[in-house]
Chains A and B, each alone.
Chain A
Amino acid sequence: MGSFIETKNITHHFGSTIALDDVSFTIGENELFGFIGPDGGGKTTLFRILTTLIIPDKGSAAIMGYDTVKEFRELRKEIGYMPGRFSLYQDLTVEENLKFYATIFGSTIEENYYLIKDIYSQIEPFRKRLAGRLSGGMKQKLALSCALIHKPSLLILDEPTTGVDAVSRAEFWEMLHRLRDEGITIVVSTPYMDEALRCDRIALIQNGHILDINTPENIRKRFTRRLYAASHPDKYKLLLALRDISCISSAFPFGESVHITLTDEASCDDVMNSLCANGIMGTVINDIEPGVEDTFLELMQK
């Protein structure tokens, strides 16, 4: 299978700030590919280059063999884009927005309705409502419908789940999986590590650099050291105490517990003994599997 998206050495600046620094990657046809990383990492700039909206300072990108700079006209027909900020017409109704997007791509709502049916049917009862007056979850569904109505080959979604509650987010990811199964290639970004697991492959991106690209499973496996979760009712006290123990090589709070790695020769018993010596009793330490965020933290420190 040839590459569906291929970027070579993309570099882009905004003034003196470097947004993307020599970024190269390939994405295969029909992949659900995620860019995972914090705000300001370069995700949006990259998506704007892929969607032909900005021209990179250096390097090139090709999608389905079309160059994003020279062949942007052909390419735009193939792409559905949902920007991070709600960008539909607030003073048009739900239905008018959808019709508008279908029309500018020379299509009709009816032609590709099957593709958006699952999503659009949920907001259809409100089709006469102005888009600006929809709730966050409904805006998100409308934006996705508009990005899909011309039946694009590639769907690019910039942080589609930011600010959306957990139930709607779970439903949104289910929808993306169905669209991928319909044959659409999907590129999505998110600052949330837990959403990485829902992608076929992910790229960890930070400060304009790609730290790693792989399946979520292989990213987790890159974490080569043994990882433990230490928990105690007083998390803060535990964390401070762990920092003072010489055989601890890293200690990061992770929700209810503190994830720790040890120096080579140390064991959990050493940690327990040191904690007890410092008057911290009742700590529980378990061996755990690293997650994507553990790997991200490790890569960031290199």
Chain B
Amino acid sequence: MSTEKVIEVREMVKRFGSFVANDHLSFDVYRGEVFGFLGANGAGKTTAIKILCGLSRPSSGSVMVAGIDASRSPEEIKKKIGYMSQKFSLYEDLTVAENIELYGGIYGMRMKEIRDRTDKLLERLDFTHYRNTIIADMPLGLKQKLAFSVAVFHDPEIVFLDEPTSGVDPITRRQFWEMIYETAAGGITVFVTTHYMDEAEYCNRITIMNEGKIVALDTPARLKEEYGVTNMEELFVMITRPKKPSAV
């Protein structure tokens, strides 16, 4: 992991009317880092990620993603990042090769480059016999691996993963994390959002958001030590459990 910053967020604020969804967020993410972004439903994660992906502009503060100013040129950010979510990632009624071609094309890659890289990718994944298989007919674990490979196919600076290993079997999940580590070791920053604390444990550093603010940011080991807990689940509940409303 290098000391080069690929995401630099300073005093980022996002308001919707009088509601402050992101309240002065500041953090850095380094090249080749696996960075976990956690928080309860409604904590403001989605708002922040939309800004980092160039889908929304901050109300104030400065946000640099892959060297691009998110307030000024959010469109440029989209070309430099990849995205994969557990809910949607590949077109079920297209084949493996067609999905790859579609994504490569969207990111402006040339046909020849797409073909060359497709061959290499399928070989590396040991997927050559799946080239013309419809996604819907593939086992879930393989789909997830392919979805990740497609998200980094255009060699982005950062890849955003939303609950990447949710629901997959324990062996596939480990193979998946190995792919993530390999990608990160190759210099692509991996930004993971998840509700699952065992996914969080795989990250180099994690941040926890609560009510629009960042309330914790460090390595999982140091956070556990700091709060005197044995696992991330306890830590998360301790930090974010909302104050109970006063007795009715």
Contact = CB atoms under 8 A, between A and B. Distances in A.
Interface residues of A, number: 36
Interface string A259-302: 00000000000000000000000000000000001001100110
Interface residues of B, number: 37
B140 A166 contact: no
B37 interface: no
B41 interface: yes
B181 A191 contact: no
Interface stretch (A32-40, A66-74, A148-156): A32-40
B167 interface: yes
B27 interface: no
A106 interface: no
A40 B137 CA distance: 12
Chain B interface SS verdict (over half): helix
B242 A167 contact: yes
Interface stretch (B58-66, B106-114, B232-240): B232-240
Contacts of A297: 170-171, 174
A253 interface: yes
Interface string B140-170: 1100000000000000000000010011111
A212 interface: no
A255 B237 contact: no
Contact of A168 (B40, B172, B202, B233): B40
A38 B140 contact: yes
Contacts of A170: 233, 237
A192 B178 contact: no
A170 B167 CA distance: 18
Contacts of B140: 38-40
A256 B220 contact: yes
Nearest to A40: B140
Contacts of A167: 40, 236-237, 240-242
A166 B40 contact: yes
A194 interface: yes
B178 A239 contact: yes
Given A135-B42, A256-B201, A194 B170 contact: no
B220 A255 contact: yes
B198 to A, nearest CB: 6
A40 B139 contact: yes
Contact of A165 (B171, B195, B198, B201): B195
B197 interface: yes
For the complex of A and B, the 3 pairs showing the least CB-CB separation, nearest first, are A255-B201, A38-B169, A236-B181
Interface of B: 39-42, 139-141, 163, 166-172, 174, 177-178, 181-182, 184-185, 195-198, 200-202, 220-221, 233, 236-237, 240-242
Given A164-B195, A168-B41, 6 more contacts: A39-B140, A40-B140, A135-B41, A135-B42, A166-B240, A255-B220
